[in-house]
A and B are shown apart, each in its own frame.
Chain A
Amino acid sequence: MIEELFSDYTLRTVALGAALLGVVSGSLGTYAVLRRQALLGDAISHAALPGIALAFLLTASKAPVVLTLGAALAGWAGTLLVMAVVRTTRVKSDSALAIVLSVFFGVGLVLLTHLQRSADASQAGLDRYLFGQAAALLERDLVTIGLFGGVALGVALACWKEFKLLSFDPDFAATIGLRVRAYDVLLTGLLVLAVVVGLQTVGVVLMSAMVVAPAAAARQWTDRLGVMMALAALFGVVAGVGGAVVSSSAERMPTGPTIVLWLTGLVVVSLLAAPRRGLVWRFAADRRRAGRLRLGAALADLDALAVRHGSLEHGHSVSVLELTAGRGVGRSLAALEERGWAQRTAEDEWAITEAGRDEARRRRGG
């Protein structure tokens, strides 16, 4: 498999393209996710369609650079419209995104179907943009991805601290003289670039996952922006190459959806297993905390019973303890015994030890 990655021209091209894409959309998606604009990617990818159609209509060229440029302009116009609608009217951003997304797409559809039926132009790659055709990636496509993606990444790195400040605290940024609106438009423009270069590989519908998933996964592993962005890029590469390899080795596995499933897998693993934030980690921590609480409660119960009976040796049956401490008291008792704070006096009977009594007093603050 690895060998093929280097020897098979098609696979190599596809994998390289998908990896490049993963880097670009993963790292720029980081800002989108942090700024709660995760679905902007979805809107951009749909809004790009009329741009592709118009670029083809005006230049009669199918060169990827031309079509990508058209897509970028339309996607950018779409996001600016979303911003304008949200700013000037009471329509909320979710509605504005949904409308721009569907209306631009509809207009793109009108243009493309009009083209197809009036002229005998073969489909200007409509299918290619809807679902992506990674298998059809050529070297010139790689150049396009590298060119646009490289520009986007370069600008993002050059404006590192400005973008960080903009994402974290735009008001403060404005007070120290940052031109917040301009940087906002610029950063959104970079996201547009990242999205449109991926369209013909992953497709309109699934491109949003390329933006959201790597960043969402990366966020779980780190608390540093730089690391998060690097991890997101890495996840993007892993999913891209993984998707390319799997879809080329299995029959009828479309590349775009396969990449998305890889991404989904990475997200699920991250949500579960990431240290500290991950669900498994949190679950274990909760269990430990609950165990400690139950242990303390069982100790206090035993102590109270000993006080009432005026004797440490008097054993108390588990069923009595269950009345207050619940069914799981057996495990707490075992743990108490382990620490030498309780002892078994009979088959189902327990008593507090001296050490246990001292501990109980200490915990009561006495």
Chain B
Amino acid sequence: MTSAQLEIQLVAVVVAVACALPGVFLVLRRLALVSDAISHAVLLGIVLAFFAVGDLSSPLLLVGAAATGLLTVFLIELLQRTRLVREDAAIGLVFPALFSVGVILIARFADTVHLDTDVVLLGELAFAPFERFVLFGWDWGPEALVEMGFVLALNVLVIALLYKELKLATFDPGLALALGFSPALLHYGLMALVSITAVGAFDAVGSILVVALMVGPPAAAYLLTDRLPVMLGLAALGGAASAVGGFWLAHALDASIAGSIAAVVGIEFGAAVLFAPKRGVVALARRHARQRVEFAEAMLAIHLLQHEGTPEALAESRVDHLDEHLRWERSFARRVVRRAERRGYVVTTDGRLLLTDRGRALARTALAV
């Protein structure tokens, strides 16, 4: 591994973790698509800030872009508040408009703005090691690394400081307001973080990958845990893993690093959807199958209990009667009876089912749901 490769991976990991942390709150607040809106709209902020400063590496660009991000959120909420359009449509109206203005400005002043819209959308991590951050005559590393390191530190700091407020405002905005933590202030604070992160990340990985990194790992983590701190940790870990995995995938395929990272994010999320221990599709299907049998077992017990001691008990408790009365497939009925026998709920004598005491208890509990 060359040092350039190491540096690219470092940048990617820092970007991924920086995106994942605020992303957790976006996912929990159902604002995932705001990341899409912000990451596109900041283009306008960058262009405008560039006109003001005339320098693409100025930290003021971050400020300008963050301001556009907040403007985007503000405009979306303004539109929503008219109640003339709904949230999804509001998002879909605002960011293309801001992005369009940005693209037109770049096109018209292409001689002065050396911004490539391709790069904004797609990013080019491979170039990251070439731009060095030199201060006091010392090479501190790739500029993107320093910049994103700063953004990451900011995200960690803000989330650590405002952890309980953010948590409260996410789960119960009403209570947060009642306790004196302005949910609106926290909301805009979070959106400022998202905007700064999006701007910082965009020239490394492009705005589309920002969306992947902000939403993918947190959503995967959401399927794996119910606890916010664990979710933050898993999201950061998942983001970092996809950064490294994506780098090597790109290396193997000789393809875009940003795209490969997004692809790995997709694989991670897909794996979580399928195999998450409690919420994955596989786990759900297995639990569903088990439940069906347990249900059936209880139904069988109730059925037998209801007919115990009645004249038709003889007929109702015949094994081959079950598929008729309970409308079960014959094979399913056999399975249920076998399981009930094994667990000591029923005993079979002469093709007739008799409830045991345990079976009676099961029926009574089931009836008392």
Contact = CB atoms under 8 A, between A and B. Distances in A.
Mutual binders A and B: yes
A79 interface: no
A46 B92 contact: no
A41 B92 contact: yes
Interface residues of A, number: 64
Given A103-B216, A111-B255, A209-B97, A261 B32 contact: no
A131 B103 CA distance: 9
B273 A213 contact: no
Nearest to B261: A106
B93 A98 contact: no
B204 interface: no
Contacts of A211: 92
A27 interface: no
A106 B84 contact: no
B93 A90 contact: no
- Among A88, A99, A127, chain B packs the most CB atoms within 10 A around the CB of A99
B96 interface: yes
Nearest to B110: A252
Interface stretch (A16-24, A113-121, A145-153, A349-357): A113-121
A39 B36 CA distance: 10
Interface string B171-193: 00000000000000000000000
B56 interface: no
Contacts of B60: none
A184 to B, nearest CB: 17
Interface stretch (A30-38, A63-71, A191-199, A224-232): A30-38
A80 to B, nearest CB: 14
B91 A107 contact: no
Nearest to A108: B259
Contacts of B214: 98
A104 B212 CA distance: 10
B293 interface: no
Contacts of A251: 108
Contact of B273 (A85, A101, A264, A267): A85
Interface string B74-93: 00000100101110110111
Contacts of B350: none
Given A98-B215, A101-B36, A252 B108 contact: yes
A88 B82 contact: no
A253 B255 CA distance: 32
Contacts of A98: 32-33, 35-36, 211, 214-215
B369 interface: no
A118 B255 CA distance: 9
A89 B96 CA distance: 30
A94 B30 contact: yes
Nearest to A33: B89
Nearest to A210: B96
Given A98-B215, A205-B40, A252-B108, A106 B208 contact: yes
Contacts of A256: 100, 103
B101 interface: yes
A304 to B, nearest CB: 38
A257 B265 CA distance: 30
A261 B97 contact: yes
B124 to A, nearest CB: 10
A320 to B, nearest CB: 38
B84 A271 contact: yes
A257 B43 CA distance: 13
B296 interface: no
Interface stretch (B64-72, B114-122, B154-162, B320-328): B114-122
Given A99-B266, A102-B265, A113 B259 contact: yes
8 closest residue pairs by CB, A with B:
A106-B262, A109-B259, A103-B266, A257-B100, A102-B212, A209-B96, A212-B92, A113-B256
Interface of B: 27, 30-33, 35-36, 40, 79, 82, 84-86, 88-89, 91-93, 96-97, 99-101, 103-104, 107-108, 110, 117-118, 121-122, 208-209, 211-212, 214-216, 218-219, 222-223, 249-250, 253-256, 258-263, 265-266, 269, 273, 279-281, 284
Given A38-B91, A271-B82, A271-B84, 4 more contacts: A33-B85, A90-B279, A94-B33, A252-B110
